A and B are shown apart, each in its own frame.
Chain A
């Protein structure tokens, strides 16, 4: 790492530090943005300072939870980790995390980097750094207006990942056909994780399915069983492409929800690939706490509120199934259509709200509260309409005043989740 790079790190660190002192916030992305302007290749020299290399985590759902689990495991065995903040998953967020981690002489202190990477940014990041491990979780439809189609992302990923050297090990979800397919075109070793548990198959297939056609030949896939969305035990009816046998397929999850089972398996598969003993993995994950808005529990004036970030059809279906399994009787759905949420709210029609029992109390809010209310009306055979609160704080007030001792389960899109936490905690924290 050259002297100039270090000066850039010191400079941006100083500006970020001053900005924090002035109460303007440290910024999760702009220090990196400034550094990149001064030194376009700074991400390369920064990552080369990491003696234990870089681990990248990509996929539509579960990036934050999985990368935090990996961080927890590595820190438990004494590694010093640099990790990008939730949502700051473009290259500027990655560089910002290095700047935050560096000492005042501009030296990177960590020995390993764990970065969650936005779907579109994965090829960009790979131009700057060669990861030691790549975890690919899943690919679902998410904000078509921003990300484009799943097939297009798969193509971009394959092009970028196939150029990585054979030393890079891939941790891949065997149960997502598109992710498993990527394993066939990379040079490095692929370690597959997945579930072998017929007891968890869905009785009725959910609607929001993307990948029911073979990523290799385009013919229809058949499933021995589906766990959720298009995740399951699959094989192609046309060619010989079949679900790889997952070597990591069993691990007790400390968080509710099948999707967290997968996040856990991904983190465990990664840890095992690094030779970390099972006992150490087990111990480190025992007290794992969920990330921002991911099954967070907040006490608000005597009411227990449970938050579930739910930002696309697959994620929303997974959250919904989890809260209904947890016996939810009071539900609040908050739908915003700001840039981080995606401007297009059409996807709510791919969520199976039909599973919400008629006995549940349902409240809706958000910028597009009426769209959500309409979706729920049409999910109900009787056309029952939920209570609409255009003001989110009034929805919480109403829930508290019901005085039922039932927890309120909140499923919200990204910016709606920020707003909910701000109201409940009186401040905005990521």
Chain B
């Protein structure tokens, strides 16, 4: 097991809409409780890509429209290609909410031009029009991939207008039990590709789903000792 890890938090000032910080707090604590030193490395507009490249785990969260535009320009041009290379070389990564849409191939708004994505995941998102309802609320889903976590129930809150569909090489993360997930039609939630996960569960995905946190950490660090997750389980079960 490695004794330290650098966790890149992409655009903490721009893409951190609603409790996204919970994810990095959980990764940091669950490392330190096992004697592993975790450094949270903020990577934003001005940060050189070499800093990003020095990290062993990546997190990117949600954004408001205006901030997403600012971050988007930088991500497409500078950080995105590096993140793509890192994901391809099996660096674990987590993309939630807006970031999940953003690492796909494109986002098609109901009016205006198609917004290109970073193409890290083969998935596309389309907004079905301003009359379509926004998918908002608690979600429960059962993990299907990775197989080691299959059957684990994950919970979260979704709030998205866009509908996401996965390309042929992409595997869904989970099967929706209640709520909407990727598009409200095919019953899937999230995506997994290599060691990278994308999800519509916005903000703090990891606190109530420590299995995903540990899976990401193990991909970076090697096998980890189990922690007592009684409280985590109760919080997970309290979401209906």
Contact = CB atoms under 8 A, between A and B. Distances in A.
Nearest to B25: A378
A120 B208 CA distance: 32
A76 to B, nearest CB: 41
Interface of B: 13-14, 17-22, 25-26, 29, 32-33, 45, 64-67, 70, 136-138, 157, 159, 202-204, 207-208, 231-232, 234-235, 238
Q: Which of A209, A347, A348, A378 counts the most B-chain CB atoms under 10 A from its CB?
A: A378
Given A212-B13, A375-B207, A344 B18 contact: yes
A368 B202 contact: no
Interface in A194-221: 207, 209, 212-213, 218, 220
A370 B65 contact: no
A383 B66 contact: no
Interface in A302-347: 343-347
A149 B65 contact: yes
A348 B203 CA distance: 10
Contacts of A379: 25
A383 B29 contact: yes
A373 B231 contact: yes
Nearest to A382: B33
A141 B17 contact: yes
A296 interface: no
Interface residues of A, number: 35
Given A218-B66, A343-B138, A144 B159 contact: yes
Contacts of B138: 343
Contact of B18 (A141, A368, A370): A141
A346 B139 CA distance: 13
Contacts of B14: 213
A347 B19 contact: yes
Interface string A363-379: 00000111101110111
A35 B127 CA distance: 39
B235 A151 contact: no
Contact of B231 (A144, A150, A218, A385): A385
25 contacts: A141-B17, A144-B17, A145-B136, A149-B17, A152-B65, A207-B21, A213-B14, A213-B66, A213-B70, A218-B66, A343-B137, A344-B157, A346-B19, A347-B19, A349-B20, A349-B203, A350-B19, A371-B207, A374-B207, A374-B231, A374-B232, A375-B207, A378-B22, A378-B26, A388-B231
A381 interface: yes
A34 B238 CA distance: 39
Main secondary structure of the interface of B (DSSP, over half): mixed
Contact of A145 (B29, B159, B204, B232): B159
B64 A373 contact: no
A216 B141 CA distance: 42
A385 B33 CA distance: 14
Interface string A146-167: 0001111000000000000000
A346 B61 CA distance: 13
Given A370-B235, A373-B231, A378-B29, A346 B65 contact: no
Nearest to B18: A346
Contacts of A349: 19-22, 25, 203-204, 207
A371 B137 CA distance: 16
A220 B207 CA distance: 31
A371 B208 contact: yes
A149 B64 contact: yes
Contacts of B70: 213, 218
Contacts of A343: 136-138, 157
B207 A378 contact: yes
A141 B64 CA distance: 11
Contacts of A212: 13
Closest 9 CB pairs of A and B: A349-B22, A346-B203, A349-B19, A346-B19, A370-B235, A149-B64, A349-B204, A346-B18, A370-B234
B204 A346 contact: yes
A419 B202 CA distance: 29
A149 B18 CA distance: 10
A381 B65 CA distance: 34
Nearest to A372: B235
B157 A346 contact: yes
Nearest to A374: B235
A302 B204 CA distance: 39
A423 B100 CA distance: 44
B21 A374 contact: no
A346 B138 CA distance: 11
